[in-house]
């Protein structure tokens, strides 16, 4: 009977169990204090009910020891919860080094997903079980939110920037994918599924659905088509070998890390940050390059190294 009436969502990722344990601890605390307060109210209300009209009870001003006691108990409890929850959060928010990167573009009202080798899907995400997956996400219009309840992960998908989330599925099967952030008329239809498969099966699926070339290869073509190559690698602009995640010195003396966000900004708003030693001659490609093409260019730049950071 309880199968039709579950008390917790399915646990299908490595982090789900830890979160549920904290959830049940919090539930226990909630039940305990609710019980204490309700019991006290009922007990006092009945025990000290008015027995005669106009009766005057003895007056009590308060009690410092009690005030200290019932401030200290919640204080200790919230400190415990905070430390527990935050350490879980910190360790959950760090993606493992070896995670496979998949790109997500949200738009009203669909999810577009791109695997590094070029396979694409809409509203469905196929992933292998037992392998860490990192999603790099952006939106073409409003804010959306990528939410997989069975994995206990959720992250907003924001236009104009990249956000990321990671998970490692522990169970094969089909799980809900929801848009969590209200995004307009068909928000409730911006849903889909995450299909977790055995690794071999996943490989088979990949080779079956691989129609296009890899993202990096598409990026390389764009790199030529938009004539990036005429400056970059021709001495007029910084080369991209071993560029991804390197430290870039800027003309104002500061340094930035060449992550996805920086590459994106350099292409759309080249004058925002200038690589020290170069002239600000790069034109903006805003309006000419789609979100998807941006991701492909980034994949291409990443593929130029350094080797260990290359997306597999």
Partner 1 sequence: MTATATENSTGVNYLNVQYGIRSWLLTTDHKRIALLYLASITFFFLIGGISAVLIRIHLIEPQGALLQPATYNKMFSMHGIVMIFFFLIPSIPATMGNFLIPMMVGARDLAFPRINLLSWYIYVVAGLFTVYALIAGGVDTGWTFYTPLSTTYANGQVMAAALGVFIAGFSSILTGLNFIVTIHKMRAPGLTWSRLPLFVWAMYATSVIQVLGTPVVAVAIVLVGLERMFQVGVFDPALGGDPILFQHLFWFYSHPAVYIMILPSMGVVSELVTCFSKKRIFGYHFIAYSSLAIAAISFLVWGHHMYVSGQSVYASLVFSALSFAVAIPSAIKVFNWTATLYKGSVSYDSPMIYALGFIGLFTMGGLTGMFLASLATDIHLHDTYFVIAHFHYIMVGGALMGYLGGLHFWWPKITGRLYPDAWARFAALVIFIGFNLTFFPQFVVGYLGMPRRYAVYPEEFQVLNIMSSAGASILGVGYVIPLIYLIWSMRYGPAAGPNPWGATGLEWQTPSPPPTENFEQLPVVTEDAYEYGSKEAHVV
Q: Which residues bind ligand HEC (CB under 6 A)?
A: 226-228, 230-232, 236-238, 248, 263, 266-267, 270, 274-275, 278-283, 285, 297
Contacting residues for 302 by C-beta, under 8 A, at least 6 apart: 216, 244, 309, 310, 311
Q: Which of 107, 115, 187, 275 binds Cu ion (CB under 5 A)?
A: 187
| Residues 76 to 95 in contact with partner 1, rule: CB under 8 A | 78-79, 81-82, 84-86, 88-90, 92-93
Q: What is the CA radius of gyration of the chain?
A: 27
Omega of the bond leading into 109 within 30 degrees of 0 (cis):
yes
275 touches 249 (CB < 8 A): yes
Q: Which of 12, 133, 135, 153 binds partner 1 (CB under 8 A)?
A: 153
220 touches 300 (CB < 8 A): yes
- Identify which of 156, 157, 146 has the alpha carbon closest to the alpha carbon of residue 194: 146
Write the DSSP assignment of 136-160 as a string of letters. Answer: EEEESSS-EEEEEGGGTEEEEE-BT
105 touches Cu ion (CB under 5 A): no
Q: Which of 120, 131, 154, 310 binds partner 1 (CB under 8 A)?
A: 154
**Minimal distance in Å, beta carbon 115 to partner 1?**
23
Q: Which does 35 bind (CB under 5 to 8 A by kind): ligand HEC, partner 1, Cu ion, none?
A: none
Nearer to ligand HEC (CB atom), residue 119 or residue 267: 267
Q: Which region holds residue 55: left if phi is over 0, alpha if psi is between -120 and 50, else beta?
A: beta
1 touches partner 1 (CB under 8 A): no
**Minimal distance in Å, beta carbon 2 to partner 1?**
12
Q: Which does 280 bind (CB under 5 to 8 A by kind): ligand HEC, Cu ion, partner 1, none?
A: ligand HEC
User: Which range binds partner 1 by CB under 8 A, 115-123, 144-152, 232-240, 251-259?
Assistant: 144-152
Q: Which does 38 bind (CB under 5 to 8 A by kind): ligand HEC, Cu ion, partner 1, none?
A: partner 1
């Amino acid at each position: 009977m309880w199968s039709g009436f579950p008390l917790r969502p399915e646990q299908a990722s490595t982090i789900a169990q830890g979160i549920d344990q904290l959830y049940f601890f919090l539930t226990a605390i909630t039940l305990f204090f609710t019980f204490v307060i309700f019991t006290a109210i009922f007990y006092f209300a009945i025990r000290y009910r008015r027995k005669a009209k106009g009766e005057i009870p003895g007056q009590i001003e308060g009690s410092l020891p009690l005030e200290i006691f019932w401030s200290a108990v919640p204080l200790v409890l919230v400190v415990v919860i905070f430390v527990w929850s935050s350490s879980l959060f910190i360790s959950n928010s760090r993606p493992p080094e070896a995670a496979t990167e998949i790109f997500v573009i949200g738009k009203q009202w669909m999810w577009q997903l791109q695997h590094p080798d070029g396979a694409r899907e809409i509203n469905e995400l196929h992933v292998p079980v037992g392998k860490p997956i990192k999603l790099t996400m952006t939106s073409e219009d409003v804010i959306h939110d990528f939410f997989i309840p069975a994995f206990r992960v959720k992250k907003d998908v924001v236009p104009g920037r990249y956000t990321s989330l990671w998970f490692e599925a522990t169970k094969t099967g089909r799980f809900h994918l929801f848009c969590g952030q209200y995004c307009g008329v068909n928000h409730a239809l911006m849903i889909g599924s995450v299909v977790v498969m055995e690794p071999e099966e996943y490989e088979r699926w990949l080779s079956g659905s691989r129609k296009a070339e890899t993202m990096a290869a598409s990026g390389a073509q764009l790199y030529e088509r938009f004539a990036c190559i005429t400056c970059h690698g021709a001495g007029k602009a910084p080369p991209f070998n071993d560029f991804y995640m390197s430290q870039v010195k800027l003309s104002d003396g500061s340094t930035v890390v060449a992550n996805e966000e920086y590459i994106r900004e350099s292409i759309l708003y080249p004058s925002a940050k200038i690589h020290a030693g170069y002239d600000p001659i790069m034109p903006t490609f805003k309006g000419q390059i789609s979100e998807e093409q941006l991701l492909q260019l980034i994949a291409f730049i990443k593929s130029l190294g350094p080797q260990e950071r290359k997306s597999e």
